[in-house]
Structure 1
Amino acid sequence: MKFNAMSRRDFVQLCGLSAAGIALSGSLAACGSSSSGTASSAKSGSSYTLVKSGKLTMISNFYFPPFVSMNEKTGDFEGFDVDVYKAVCKKLKLKPRILPSVQFDTIVPTIKQGGKADVSIGAITITDDRKKEIDFSNPYLDSNQSIVVKKGSAATTQDQLNAKGMQIAVQSGTTGESWAQENLPKATIVPLDDIIQAMTGVQTGLYNACVADLPVTSYEIKQAYSDLEIPEGGEIPTGEQYGIVVSKKNPGLTKAINKALKELKSDGTMDSLEKKWFGTTI
C-alpha cells in the first residue's frame, strides 16, 4: 500500500465507522504526556528518541481492514497491524499512543519531519522510493495485489480491462495504483481516498474494477462485498513486503523494532495474530 490523497467520509458507515468513534479516537489520542524523551532497549542495545516519553506514538490511515480500522461500537483502533504495533510496544516496554487517522500521502512526510509520531504501520509496502525518505523495519508480512470486479462482469481479465472507457478505481498513492498505471495504460485510472470507496464504486457500477492489496480485498469480499469477486487470474503476484515506517534520524528505534519483530516471530505471536485476522498464516 502507498500514500496519496483519499476520501472516505461518504463511506464511513459502510466500513463500520461512526462519527462518535472518530471523535472518541481523537480525544483518546490527545491524552498523555506532552514531553518528548529518549529511551533505550537493553535487548537491542540501542537508544532512540520518542515524541512522548515512555510512549511509542503511531500514525496510520485507519480505513484499511483487516490491517487498520476502527471498531464502530467502541471507537477503538483495531486490526492485524494494530495488534502487531501493540505487541512491539510491549516488547519495548512502551505504552501505545495512536493518533487520529491521517491521509496516506501525509505519512512519509510526517515521519520524515519528526516531532509528531515515532512510527507508522498499516500494510505499508517497502519500496526503494520510500526508503529514500524514511527507514523501514525488517519486513513482517508478504502481500500481493488483486483485481476486483462485480460478479457477472463481462470484463474481468487484464487485457479486457486495459481498454479505452474502462474505469479502474485505486487507492491513491498505493502500489495498486502504480501497478494499474503501468499495466492498464489504456484504461482510466481513478485515484480515490481508500479501498472502501473503491470497492463500493465497483459494487454500484461506477467503476469497472479496482486494484488493491490482496489480503484487504479478500477480507472485504468475505465481510461486506459478497457481490464482488477476485476473478480467475485476478491475483497479481507483485511480491510485496510490509514494514514499519521509522525516521532516518532514529536508527536506534528501527534497530529496537527489528529486535522486537524477530522475538514476536520466534515466540509464535506473529503466527497467532495472522491466524486471528486472516484465518491462517500468510
Structure 2
Amino acid sequence: MKKKPHLSTVLGCMLAAVLAVTLAACGGSPSPSGSSAQEPDTSTTDDYALVEDGKLTMISNFYFPPFVSMSAENGGDFEGFDVDVYKAVCDKLGLEPNILPSVQFDTIVPTIKQGGKADVSIGAVTITDERLEEVDMTDPYMDSNQAIVVKKGATATDVDTLNVAGTQVAVQSGTTGESWVKENLPNATCVPLDDIIQCLTGLQSGLYNAVVCDLPVAQYEIKIAYSDLEVTTEIPTGEQYGIVVSKDNPGLTEKINQALKDLEDDGTMDQLEQKWFGTTL
C-alpha cells in the first residue's frame, strides 16, 4: 500500500504548478525593449546560395570593351564598366568579388544554368526571351542598340547593299548581333567569331565586309583603336542589358535587383557611365 503524502507536500506541488503556468503565460523569456512579438520578416534574410561563402563569383567574356576587358597596364587585371558595376553590387551585398578567367560568350548561359561554377555573369548580356527560358536575368541596367560597322570608303554600308551573296559579315558567336544578321541579312554569309576584337581586326584587314555588334562597343573601339572603321547604321533593336543568375537562385536575383536600384538612386551608375562613356546614357 502506498503512503499518502503529507498535506504540506500537496500544497507545495500546487503552488509550483501555478507558478509554472504564470511564467509560461508571460512568455518564458523577456523580449528586448520595444521589440514586437511578431515573426521575423523572412524577406530580409539572405535566402540565396553562393558557390563560395562570402563571395559573388562571376564569369564573362573579357573581350568586349568598354564593358569587360583585361587591362594590359595592370597585369591583366579585369576592368570595364560592367566590372565596376559588378564590384559595386558586391559592395552593396557585403560580398567579396571573385572573377573567374574569361570564357566564350556562348557558354555563359549554359554555365550559369548548370550551376556550381559561378553565381552570376555580367558583360553586356542582352535580356531575351530565349535566355529567360534557361536562366533568370536581373532588371535592366543599360539600354543599347546594334550597329553596322564597315571600313571607311566601303561601298556596301547598309542592309540593302550588304544583303547579297558573297558578303561576309562578322559577329561574335552567341550574341544578338549574330541573331540579327541571320534574320535580316539572309543572303550574306554570317561569320561567328570568338570575340568582337577578332571581328573588328578582320574587318580592318579586309577579311570581312562588315561587322554587326553592340553600338556602345563599336563606338568605343573605333575611338580608341580602329579609326579607319565607321558606324554606318544604328540598328534600333531596343536591347537592355541584365545580370545573368540561375533560376534556382531567385533570392540572389532579388538582392541584386535591389542593389542595382540603390546604385541608380545614389548616383553610382551615372558616375560609372561618365567614367567609361564620357556621358550618362
Paired letter, 1:183: N
Identity of aligned residues (%): 74
1:154-182 deviations in whole A, cap 9, x for unaligned?
11111000011111111111100100111
Contact 2:106–2:175 under 8 Å retained in 1: no
Is 2:230 the counterpart of 1:247? no
Alpha-carbon distance in 2 for matches of 1:102, 1:130: 17
* 1:96 match: 97
Q: Secondary structure at the match of 1:56?
A: strand
Unpaired segments of 5 or more residues in structure 1?
1-40
* 2:10 match: none
TM-score (norm: length of structure 1)? 0.83
Give the drift of 1:46: 4.3
Contact 2:109–2:131 under 8 Å retained in 1: yes
Paired letter, 1:173: G
Give the drift of 1:44: 5.2
Give the drift of 1:104: 1.2
Paired letter, 2:250: P
Runs of 4+ with >2 A deviation: 41-46
Contact 1:147–1:209 under 8 Å retained in 2: yes
* 1:59 match: 59
Is 2:106 the counterpart of 1:105? yes
Structure 1 or 2, whichever has the larger Rg, is 2
* 2:262 match: 263
* 1:224 match: 225
Paired letter, 1:176: G
Give the drift of 1:73: 2.0
Contact 1:144–1:213 under 8 Å retained in 2: yes
Unpaired segments of 5 or more residues in structure 2?
1-40
Alpha-carbon distance in 1 for matches of 2:54, 2:43: 17
Q: Secondary structure at the match of 1:159?
A: helix
Q: Secondary structure at the match of 1:53?
A: coil
* 2:35 match: none
Cα 1:131–1:44 shift into 2, 3 Å: farther
Number of aligned positions between the proteins:
240
Give the drift of 1:45: 4.6
Give the drift of 1:107: 0.8
* 2:127 match: 126
Contact 1:44–1:255 under 8 Å retained in 2: no
Give the drift of 1:121: 0.2
* 1:278 match: 277
Give the drift of 1:260: 0.2
TM-score (norm: length of structure 2)? 0.84
Give the drift of 1:203: 0.6
Give the drift of 1:245: 0.3
* 1:47 match: 47
Give the drift of 1:106: 1.4
* 1:215 match: 216
Alpha-carbon distance in 1 for matches of 2:107, 2:150: 29
Cα 1:144–1:44 shift into 2, 3 Å: farther
Relative contact order, higher structure (CA 8 A, sep 6+) = 1
Contact 2:136–2:246 under 8 Å retained in 1: yes
Contact 2:71–2:79 under 8 Å retained in 1: yes
